[in-house]
Structure 1
Amino acid sequence: MNLILTVLEIVAPVGLLGLVGFLWVRLGFEYRLEFITRLCMTLSLPPLVFTALMKTEIDPAALTSLSLAAALAYGALTVAFWAVTTALGLDRRTFLAPLIFGNTGNVGLPLALFAFGQAGLGYAVVVFAVMILWHFTFGLWMVAGGGSPARLLREPIMGATLLGALFLWQGWETPRWLTNSLDLLGQIAIPLMLITLGVAVARLNAGKLGRAVWLSLLRAAICLAASLGAGLLFGLPPVALAVLILQVTTPVAVTSYMMAEKYGADAQSVAGLVIASTLLSVVTLPLTLAFLI
Structure 2
Amino acid sequence: MFKKILLILTLFTLLSCNVTKPVIVTKKATPTSSKKVVARSGKKTNVVKPTLKKSSTQEQAEEENEVIESTSVTYVGTDVIGKYISQYKDIAMSNMRIYGIPASIILAQGILESGAGRGDLCIRANNHFGIKCHEGWTGESVRHDDDSSQECFRKYDEPAESFNDHALFLTGRSRYSSLFNLAKEDYKGWARGLRRAGYATDPKYPDKLISYIERYNLGQYDALVMGRDYTPFEKQDTRIAALDSQNRSLYEVQKGDTLYSISKKYNLLVTDLKQINNLSANTISIGQKLIVK
- TM category (shorter chain) comes to under 0.3
Larger radius of gyration: 2
